[in-house]
Structure formats: C-alpha cells, structure tokens
Structure 1
C-alpha cells in the first residue's frame, strides 16, 4: 500500500523547508503527499522576511476538501502561525478522526525569525499537542512548551520527558541537536519507555528545514512501522540527506538538505 500523507504547514519559496520540504521528504520515502497551506512565507536560505497567515476558515476548508475525498494515513503539522489556525486544524482533524498525527511545533525559523504569534503558544499546547500521536520539539521549542529556561543538557532532556508527555501526546521525540558534541542525540519517550537515538554530527551549513524533514519522514513511515521503527528510519534518512547536502549549491545562507540524493544517484 502506498500511504497518503497530509502536510499542514507554511511555504518556503526557496524549497528547503515548510511544505516544499515536506512534500519532497514524503515523496522520497514512497508516500503520496497532500498539502494544506496555513501561511505564505517570504523566505530564502538567509532568513524569513515576512509571512501572511491564511484565514482559519480557509485552512479548515482546505482540510475538509482533502479528508472528505482522500484516505489519509498520516498527518504532519508544521507552521500554524496563530491561535485561530491552531483551533481550526484541531477541530477539523478531530472531526475527521485523523490518525498518525506528527506535530512539529514550529515556533522560530533557523534565522531566528518568529513563525508563531506569542498568544498562539497556549492554543498549540492545548488544542494540538493532545491530538498528536507524537510531537517533535527541539530544545528551544520544548522550553517554550514547558515554560522553562532554554538551558539544556542530556540529563535535563531526560528529566523533561515526563512533563512533555503530560501535555497529552502519546509520544515525544525531544531533539538534542542544539547541544554541543560529536553526536546529535534525540530521546523518544512513550508507553514503551525511553529510547536514545544518536547519530554522528555532520558539519555543514546546509541544514535548512531539518526539523520539517524529520517530522515529515516520520509521518511517511508511520503507516508502515511502529513508532520506534518509524523514528529510527526517519533519523537515518535525515542523517543521509544532511551528509549529501553539500552536493547542492542553493543560496548564500543555510542551504537545503538533499532530499532526493538516493534517487538522483540511482538515475546517474
């Protein structure tokens, strides 16, 4: 079965993050990608200039138009922009009994530009996190979700997992990429306990859209694998596309990862 996966997120004209990265990732991993746009973003590899959030009712209408017609096997939620969109997404996904929901709580672009209104954090926390099968915060995002200082170590990452799970998702993948060290360490927590996932850290400036890519990879894999296997395979995919990212020459800032490295290599 080819899985149908829906991404609900903002755009990236430069193609490295947002819905464009989501569709590339899902396609590279053998899923059919559908999409709902929440915000139109003016950005490139150097940063975000501005964005326009869409009307929440229009976002809801997009979701209905897909889910009333297409069997959706998993959903990835990225940039939601504001509280109204968060509530609209939650309402429609609950209405359609969506499953395998991967929530990437996008709050700040790699350039440091805010992608979520401050008043929307509580809406994301209360309306979307309890709906999610898994949330995939990085350390700054986890600090905001828990209203705690953004001061982390591997020990405090482990200690924070029960508090993150108490927000209501079934699983939490806490990403440790912001820590220093030769390895990037993520922690997956859920009903089976805690699993540690490590990968050698890759030195490259082509790391635009890594969070979008990882969460989209999980959503593409969840229809075929349990959570631990889906996350393990998704992290392996992210490591591979980062390792091959220097083959691309896109932009003057944080370039994209190479989503299609395996396909392009096999095509010569």
Structure 2
C-alpha cells in the first residue's frame, strides 16, 4: 500500500523549495502527496502573499476528512493564530507524526513579522512537532547563539533550543570542517553527530527537501535516526545530480528526479 503524506507550506514558483519541492520529493520516494498551501511567492522577488487563515484551515480539513495521513511536513506558517490552529488540528490526529521545518520565515522579512513573533510561533510549534529541522543559520538566529565552531558547541546550541520543544531536533550544516558537513540529531537523552562529505554545489532547497524526505522515510524506517540517515543520503545524491538541471541563475535546485527514468 502506498503511504499518504502531507505538506503544509508556501508555494515557490520555480520549485526549488516549498510545496513544489516537497511534492517532487514525496513522489520520487514513492509516497502519495497531499498539500496545503499557506502563501504564494514569486521566486527571487519580494512578492509574498499569505493566504487567509480560513482558506489554509479549509484545505487542511479537506485533506484530513478524505485522506488517512500518518506522516506530515509543516513548513512556514505566517501568523500566530494560524500556527495555533494548525498545531491543534494536527495534534488531534493521534496517529500522525510530523516534521516541522520553518526555514523560509526565519532569515528573511518578506512576511513582515517582528522577530519576537516569529520566535514565539516557531517555539510553540516545536512543542507539538515530533521532529524539528533547522539549519545552523536558522538555529543560531532562534537561540540568539554564536555560530558553532565544533560539535560540542553545536550540541550546546541544540540543548538550548530543546528547552523550547518537546520532540526531537535535527540541526544541519555545521561547516567548520573543510572535508565534512556536520549535522546534529538531538533528543532529550543524547546528541548524535552525523557527517557527510562536503559538496559545495550552489543549490537552494536542500534543507526543505531533507525534511520532506524524512517524512517519507519515517514511514519506512525502524527509528527516527535511521530515517534521518536515509533522508540525508537521498538529499546528498539529489545534490550530486543537480548538474542535470538547467537554470539561468548562479544557483539552482537539487535534482529531486534523479532516480526517475527520463
């Protein structure tokens, strides 16, 4: 039986991140994708239009009423009321496990929210999510912490953020090594160091797609750590195959379709 999965996020017109990247990831990994759009963006512009809370919630209720969902990714939610409503609806689905990856909203101000409000929204959702995914830049901004220069400092950053959440935390992109990129998977009891060969290919959306891949692998793996390792391996290969895509820009997308015959 094919697994049904859900993404709740914004739309990126070029498909490097957001809903489009999530749907490609889900499909490439053999899951059936459903989606809830929270905002519309025009790629590499300042245009950002949030959909009304009513429209977002109506989409979510329609998905939950028609499709059994056990695994979900939640991306950027544009205001406190929406974050509360989505969090409550998902929490009512007792079989549901969800990954929270708020990336878009943390390091830009297209949405116009004050920093304190963004932090409050994120921390409230971290309390409900099973796993939260952040890159290092997002993590240090949230925690108001210095950039880690070794794994010990990365663990300290993780512990600082874990005070605001009840689940598990994956921080990616520790870049103090010339050879490896270091990630940190933190639970209440431990921190695990995960290293991957550095690949400086200029791509956008790897973190977004990592969280989406994690949603699918959670449905297949025997543990969250195994799912994280599998998701990281898949994204690494998608980055490696990014040269098979063409864009008229200095950066590009990971290749979500590398395993699908042309």
TM-score > 0.5, shorter chain as reference: yes
CA distance in 2, matches of 1:208, 1:2: 29
CA distance in 2, matches of 1:103, 1:76: 6
Q: Is structure 2 residue 149 aligned with structure 1 residue 153?
A: yes
- Structure 1 67/194 Cα, relative in aligned 2: closer, same or farther at 3 Å? same
Instruction: Name the structure 2 match of 1:6.
Output: 6
Asked if structure 2 preserves the Cα contact closer than 8 Å seen for 1:139 and 1:150, the reply is no
Could you say what secondary structure the match of 1:176 adopts? Answer: strand
Structure 1 unmatched ranges of 5 or more: none
Residue-pair matches, total: 257
Shift of 1:31: 0.9
Instruction: Name the structure 2 match of 1:170.
Output: 167
Q: CA RMSD in A?
A: 1.9
Deviation per CA, 1:21-45: give whole Å up to 9, x if none: 00001111111111000111111xx
Could you say what secondary structure the match of 1:261 adopts? Answer: coil
Q: Is structure 2 residue 220 aligned with structure 1 residue 224?
A: yes
CA distance in 2, matches of 1:160, 1:199: 20
Could you say what secondary structure the match of 2:41 adopts? Answer: strand
Structure 2 unmatched ranges of 5 or more: none
Q: TM-score, normalised by structure 1?
A: 0.89
Asked if structure 2 preserves the Cα contact closer than 8 Å seen for 1:38 and 1:85, the reply is no
Name segments (4+ residues, structure 1) moved above 6 Å: none
Deviation per CA, 1:202-245: give whole Å up to 9, x if none: 1212x111111000000011112110110000000010000110
Instruction: Name the structure 2 match of 1:253.
Output: 250
CA distance in 2, matches of 1:123, 1:203: 32
Q: Is structure 2 residue 71 aligned with structure 1 residue 74?
A: yes
Instruction: Name the structure 2 match of 1:26.
Output: 26
Q: TM-score, normalised by structure 2?
A: 0.91
The more displaced of 97-106 and 8-17 is 97-106
- Mapping for residues 26-175 of structure 1, pairs under 5 Å: 26-43=26-43, 47-97=44-94, 99-108=96-105, 113-114=108-109, 116=111, 117-118=113-114, 119-126=117-124, 128-146=125-143, 148-154=144-150, 155-175=152-172
- Structure 1 218/37 Cα, relative in aligned 2: closer, same or farther at 3 Å? same
Asked if structure 2 preserves the Cα contact closer than 8 Å seen for 1:100 and 1:223, the reply is no
Asked if structure 2 preserves the Cα contact closer than 8 Å seen for 1:107 and 1:141, the reply is no
